[in-house]
Structure 1
Amino acid sequence: MYGQLNSACLYGIEGVMISVEIDLANGLPQTHIIGLPDSAIRESALRVRSAVRNCGFRYPQQRITINLAPADLRKEGSAFDLAIAVGILTTSGQLIMPSAKRMLLIGEVALDGSLRPVTGVLPMVEAARREGFEAVLLPRKNAAEAALISGVKVYAAGHINQLRDNSLEPEYKTAGSANREAGSYLALPSDNPASPIAEDTPDGTASLPFPVTVDGAPGLKEPVTAYSLEHLRYISSPIITEPAANAEEAMKEDYSDVTGQHHVKRALTIAAAGMHNILLIGPPGTGKTMMIKRLPGILPALSDSEALEVTKIFSAAGKLIDARQGLIRDRPFRSPHHTISGAGLIGGGSVPKPGEVSLAHRGILFLDELPEFSRSVLEMLRQPLEDHIVTISRARAAFTFPARLMLAASMNPCHCGLLGSGHPAQRCTCSPARIAQYRGRLSGPLLDRIDLQVEVPRPRDLDKKTASPGLSTADMRSQVEEAHRLQAARYRRLPISWNSELYGAALKRHADPGPDGSQMLHDLLENLGLSMRSYDRILKLSRTIADLECAERITPGHIAEALQYRNLDKPPGDGE
């Protein structure tokens, strides 16, 4: 006997539809799972066997072959358990679900038949919708996440027994069981006195708490049919947070609290407006970390498509905390410790998972004390910062993760941290060779990929009453939002969103410096020995500065301001 159901697995951060084929044949009672399964999938045979028996069903004493197609795709995880269990029950005739052919089934099965949540539900359900599936059956704890995809009916169960009867113990009841009187439940012979009941049979099936149908078995007159799963239908009730409350929460740490540092605020505004990478350089205690941690407050919320991208990544990584709040709308802010490994930063593992650069997709990756990170780890950032993707190759497959992010970093100017402190009691004790050695921890190609390199001096006026507050978070956010609107209109026909993503012909067309600006850049290119990558990044910065001023064309003034933010392109001085 042959049966086929549909499940899904993750391939990187994308869902892939998997056909679960069940074949029952005469032979020694054993279960084989084929189709490149991993250890968790091979062990599902034992989990499903115990679950089927503990739920009161009969596990077929036949040779069972389970094929996961396509067979050449490596599969991993426990999400196939539910499809395998239901497939065995339907193929053996113990349960018939007419809608199962066009339904996605995902979930881990416990030994007692209860369903446990799995990771990556969002991309799996999205893949099912693309393939034309109209419904998904999954564990109750995954229901809110699946409901984020519109156009798919979500059926949530806490136990396998809920597929065959609403007359369950209280711990297995669902909120939808009250609809039973209206007919939205599994129509079992035990629910209808007029239905035929199985008689005593030699194989003992009459002793089971439900009628069983097996092809050729004597005494069984009618199969158990799941006419409807509406009693398991999940109706989402998202936790809605008022926008005003979100804004108030974001405003708790405001840039108006920062004493002085007006040029740093300007640099952060430019970085946020064009999603440019930024590095703050200054002595300890000057507010570098504090100002970068306020950076998410001036970034606009994610668009619908961006929110879906980010939520899929967090779902695949198992970091989606509460799906009832809907798609992630705030831009991610990731701040890993400097002891992080290359696999943790970029992604990796035997089955690669997204790293911090992908978890920061469409948001900010903050690396505090940049030189303290391992140089080999930092060098791994070069390709993601340039190509905005991460490709991890393994023997059987290559996985690609998105990495469109803003890198924000901070560092001290030297080993002791006092270079340029400007205070007679805090003089730098580092020799020029030691300063060069400290800064040498960051390679030239990596620094080339950082658009703004801004010095953060020690504030001169520490009296907050007399110091000018400067721009607030609300002021900076309004400027950034206007710049983002201009870029969205300009690049609506291009596969880019921000000025930092300009390249090639698009860079020449939208960031033309004009004759005077070209001459200025040519002179600086020769005098400072800038690379062509630095040249392009100065043009991108100039384009963003022009957008903040709502200027259509780049002027030499915009270029001159952009050059001020390339501090590491200049020879280091003693700063005293």
Structure 2
Amino acid sequence: MSLAIVHSRGLDGLSAPEVSVEVHLAGGLPGFTLVGLADAEVREARDRVRAALQNSGFKFPDKRITVNLAPADLPKESGRFDLPIALGILAASGQLPANALGDYEFAGELSLTGALRPIRGALAMTLAADRRGRRFVLPAESAREAALAGAPVLAAETLLAVCSHLAGQEALAVLHTDAATPQTQTLADLADVRGQTQAKRVLEIAAAGGHSLLLAGPPGAGKSMLAARLPGLLPPLARDEALESAAILSLAGQFRPEAFGAPPLRQPHHSASAVALVGGGSTPRPGEISLAHCGILFLDELPEFERRVLEALREPLESGRIHISRAARQAEFPARFQLVAAMNPCPCGFAGDRSGRCRCTPEQVARYRGRLSGPLLDRIDLQIEVPSLDAADLQRLPDGESSATVRARVIAARERQLARQGKLNTALSTAEIDRLCTPDAAGSTLARHAIDRLRLSARAYHRILRVARTIADLADLPCIGEDQVGEAVQYRRFAGA
């Protein structure tokens, strides 16, 4: 047979469209032509496949070889097509039974020795292949990740092992979800934090309602330490959320099977570009906000980020998605993340500190805080100051609650929210806020005074009501009262806002 068709998958944003690898052998001068809108990585497959076939003991045909990657209008990237191209050549030249290929899909990069190397996006491709009723053959390292999709995945170490399986000689190992059970991660405990009672309370509220959070304070006050303990307060992700988060991380080659089900924590450096944060590139790839989907995006030294980078966060903070448009390609990625940010109160970091070390002028402080726009700060639900600790607090043994104790309250509050409205309070729409977050008479009066005195926008007012609803859920209160509104207003009184 001079023609063989092998099924594989490409990547287009978060989707994994099917790619048919068509291999044709013809007479004439020997040559290798690869068509189908392939980038440089795919075109280099010619040399990798030739060496891998020869070093695996197969004969490379002395014919004119044409490989078409269909559909032709879908850009193809990475070395994932090495394995299906090699199998197509073997089937077209009669060295492998062609009728054995139809029930499988293949992806994998070949080394010159014929060994299979891991690829990006294995989980997204396996989810798509399972819907077509085909089993996926992947490199062993990628198969463990892909098995989390719940579909059986065949794991192969080498090209020769794949051929032995297709020829009916030695079956490949089948990985199921049970074979990829994640390990329990050890997370930082909230009990390690000394003092900072208010900050720990705000951390609990943020975890319970999924609210965004800004921590402002001098160096060494514990802002980063507090942020690092937020993942330990969150419950494991639901399976659909865990699969979606894992699929996005897999696109970037950063997924770890042992972290499956845990909310991701992303901490980009303040030198990160807008493309690194929101995603992009000639072939659009997810940025940090999408890699933090269903988890936490922690931005330390917030004013040190470029202003245009921070302004790019405004839309996804509201919509939970990011649409990337380029001249030739468009892609949309989910970006429902919880923003946690930390900053110093002034350029030197010691404004308002009891040490009196700050020498910044009011103009310098105003210029520093002015790097954060009003619209961005308006979208951050909780904004508090984290003071430095005195000697007595530092020398006192930690005596606060553990993360497990606080997490139990957080889970209970989240269950109340899901039972009431099917989503967390941070995701409530304006109509839902009017219906579910209306305070009692005393609370409404206090909220009206807060709007007048603090000159709050409509968005800020609605966010106060969401936070108050979360505070009431933590206390298992059916209605929002004056105390809950007052506490929520207190958490929007950072001087930099």
TM over 0.5: yes
Q: Partners of 2:81 and 2:183 in 1: how far apart? A: 38
Residue in 1 aligned with 2:64?
63
Q: Is the 8 A contact 1:74 1:396 kept in 2?
A: no
Q: Partners of 1:286 and 1:383 in 2: how far apart? A: 31
| 1:435 paired residue among 365, 380, 387 | 365
Map 1:151-230 → 2, pairs under 5 A: 151-152=151-152, 154-165=153-164, 226-227=167-168, 230=171
TM-score between both structures, scaled by the size of structure 2: 0.92
Secondary structure at 1:358 match in 2: helix
Shift of 1:236: 7.6
Deviations 1:348-377 (A, max 9, x none): 223222222122211111111211222222
Identical columns (%) = 46
Query: Residue type of the partner of 1:286?
Result: A
Map 1:69-80 → 2, pairs under 5 A: 69-80=70-81
Secondary structure at 1:447 match in 2: helix
Shift of 1:444: 0.6
| 1:279 paired residue among 210, 214, 226 | 214
Show structure 1 runs of 5+ residues with no match: 166-184, 187-225
Q: Is the 8 A contact 1:461 1:467 kept in 2?
A: no
Q: Partners of 1:47 and 1:239 in 2: how far apart? A: 30
Residue in 2 aligned with 1:147?
147
Q: Is the 8 A contact 1:155 1:229 kept in 2?
A: no
Secondary structure at 2:323 match in 1: strand
Map 1:495-574 → 2, pairs under 5 A: 497-568=423-494
Q: Is the 8 A contact 1:265 1:471 kept in 2?
A: no
Map 1:108-119 → 2, pairs under 5 A: 108-119=109-120
Secondary structure at 1:11 match in 2: coil
Shift of 1:119: 1.5
Q: Is the 8 A contact 1:298 1:477 kept in 2?
A: yes
Tell me if 1:368 matches 2:300.
yes
- Structure 1 pair 164/291, CA: closer, same or farther in 2 (3 Å)? closer
Q: Partners of 1:12 and 1:395 in 2: how far apart? A: 15
Q: Is the 8 A contact 2:214 2:340 kept in 1?
A: yes
| 1:391 paired residue among 298, 303, 323 | 323
- Structure 1 pair 313/22, CA: closer, same or farther in 2 (3 Å)? same
Residue in 2 aligned with 1:472?
402
Name the Cα RMSD after superposition: 2.5
| 1:452 paired residue among 382, 385, 388 | 382
Q: Partners of 2:28 and 2:398 in 1: how far apart? A: 86
| 1:487 paired residue among 384, 395, 417 | 417
Residue in 1 aligned with 2:343?
411
- Structure 1 pair 264/56, CA: closer, same or farther in 2 (3 Å)? closer
| 2:229 paired residue among 270, 275, 294 | 294
Q: Partners of 2:231 and 2:329 in 1: how far apart? A: 35
- Structure 1 pair 560/66, CA: closer, same or farther in 2 (3 Å)? same
Secondary structure at 1:148 match in 2: helix
Q: Is the 8 A contact 1:260 1:467 kept in 2?
A: no
Shift of 1:292: 1.6
Shift of 1:548: 0.6
Secondary structure at 1:442 match in 2: coil
Residue in 2 aligned with 1:334?
266
Query: Residue type of the partner of 2:58?
Result: F
Residue in 2 aligned with 1:181?
none
Q: Is the 8 A contact 1:97 1:227 kept in 2?
A: no
Deviations 1:179-226 (A, max 9, x none): xxxxxx67xxxxxxxxxxxxxxxxxxxxxxxxxxxxxxxxxxxxxxx2
Show structure 2 runs of 5+ residues with no match: none
Secondary structure at 2:52 match in 1: helix
Shift of 1:541: 0.7
Q: Partners of 1:68 and 1:241 in 2: how far apart? A: 35
Shift of 1:254: 3.3
Residue in 1 aligned with 2:124?
123
Residue in 2 aligned with 1:348?
280
Map 1:239-254 → 2, pairs under 5 A: 246=185, 249-250=186-187, 253-254=188-189
Residue in 1 aligned with 2:25?
24
Secondary structure at 2:268 match in 1: coil
Q: Partners of 1:528 and 1:390 in 2: how far apart? A: 32
Shift of 1:29: 2.9
Q: Partners of 2:129 and 2:180 in 1: how far apart? A: 25
Q: Is the 8 A contact 1:10 1:120 kept in 2?
A: yes
TM-score between both structures, scaled by the size of structure 1: 0.80
Tell me if 1:90 matches 2:91.
yes
